[in-house]
Amino acid sequence: MIIRTFHPWNVSYQQAVTIQEELRNRIVLDLPFPTPNYVAGVDVSTSKTLSIGWAAVVVLSFPELRVVEQRWAEGTITFPYIPGLLSFREIPLVCKAIEQLSIEPDVFLCDGQGLAHPRRMGIATHLGVIINKPTVGCAKSRLIGTHEEVGSKKGAYTPLMDKKEVIGAVLRTRQGVKPVFVSPGYGISLKVARTLVLSCVTKYRIPEPIRAAHNLVTLLRNSREAGQNHTLYSCS
DNA sequence: GCGACAG
DNA sequence: ATCTTGTCGC
């Protein structure tokens, strides 16, 4: 996939916020979105000590949910984790992985928020604006917004509200576990985003594409940082 | 001023 | 996100 970045990543906190406010005007939610053939999952893992990280994008066929392509990238992580500015920390590396794709996914599921963000610029939305492809935010916890209790059955959901605006859905993907926070990233409606996430869930809380990407980055990190652990074990 | 706060 | 063991429940 060809990616054209139109803003710098090495920026200050204030510059990052300004960029988000500018990019907000480029959000589109009504791109054509037929039933997808390929759904990608995106995730990033960071080193516990060094300032490096790994990004992975895994493409699954839909609705079979079989892995058909996976790409990854290793690189320096410079931007700190600041709630609300996650995209400035993770997207540069994510783009390095996405660039290598030979298949062009119909939609990308991201581990984080989309519109459910103070400036409507969660990592999923930011990524979508950059690659001009449909994206969905699927976070494991809340950044902003309020909501009622969610039903206990798989598929139950309740709107996530910011003031009087619906910014996402709190979705129960499995009985007996915490719900996930789904919000449109880019080029997709909340309803379609929510049903897509549910369609990508099998027996786990997290939808398969994101799970696959998370497994890959975890594998990469472990294989790269195994050295210290092996030293500890060999002492006994 | 204080608390909350994706990954 | 990362650290970190066993343990309780479907």
Instruction: Delineate the domains of chain A, giving CATH numbers in brackets.
Output: 13-234 (3.30.2170.10)
Q: Which residue matches tokens 């079979």?
A: A64
Return the pLDDT at A147.
96
Whose CA is nearest the C1' atom of nucleotide B5? A83
**Nearest nucleotide to A48, CA against C1' atoms:** C2
Nearest to A171 by CA among A143, A124, A125, A205: A205
Average pLDDT over residues A111-136: 98
Average pLDDT of the segment spanning A225-233 = 54
Cβ within 8 Å of residue A216, ≥6 positions away? A43, A56, A58, A70, A72
Q: What is the pLDDT of residue A32?
A: 86
**Residue-level pLDDT at A15:** 97
What average pLDDT does the segment A100-106 reach?
A: 98
Return d(Cα A42, Cα A160) in angstroms, integer: 23
Judging by beta carbons within 10 Å of its beta carbon (0-12, 13-18, 19+), is residue A161 exposed, middle or buried? Answer: middle
Phi/psi of residue A75, nearest 5 degrees: -170, 175
* The pLDDT of residue A181: 98
d(CA A48, C1' C3) / Å: 9
Residue A234 in this model has a pLDDT that exceeds 50: no
CA of A14 to C1' of B3 (A): 22
* Residue A123: pLDDT over 90: yes
Q: Please tell me which residue lies nearest to nucleotide C9, judged from CA to C1'.
A: A176
Of residues A57 and A236, more confidence is placed in: A57
Question: Is strand C within 7 Å of residue A132 (CB)?
Answer: no
Q: Nearest nucleotide, C1' to the C-alpha of A49?
A: C2
Q: What is the CA radius of gyration of chain A?
A: 18
pLDDT of residue A227 exceeding 80, the answer is no
pLDDT, residue A228, reads 55
The answer to whether A126 and A91 have CB atoms below 8 angstroms apart is: yes
Contact indicator for A164, A145 with CB cutoff of 8 Å? no
Which nucleotides in chain B lie less than 7 Å from some protein C-beta?
5-7
- The predicted structure's pLDDT at residue A232: 37
Give protein residues whose Cβ lies within 7 A of nucleic acid chain B.
A 43-44, 46, 81, 83-87, 111-113, 117, 122-124, 137, 139-143
All residues at 6 or more sequence positions from A123 whose CB lies less than 8 Å from its CB, including other chains: A86, A87, A90, A91, A110, A111, A112, A113, A114, A137
Measure the CA–CA gap between A226 and A159, rounded to whole angstroms. Answer: 42
A97 pLDDT higher than 60 = yes
- Residue A119 pLDDT > 90, yes or no? yes
Nucleotide nearest to A110 (CA to C1'): B6
The pLDDT of residue A226 = 78
Q: Which amino acid is at A49?
A: T
- Alpha carbon separation from A62 to A106, A191, A197, A204 (Å, rounded): 10, 18, 12, 17
Q: What is the spatial distance between Cα A105 and Cα A233, in angstroms, rounded to a whole number?
A: 42
Which of the two residues, A149 and A4, has the higher pLDDT score?
A: A149
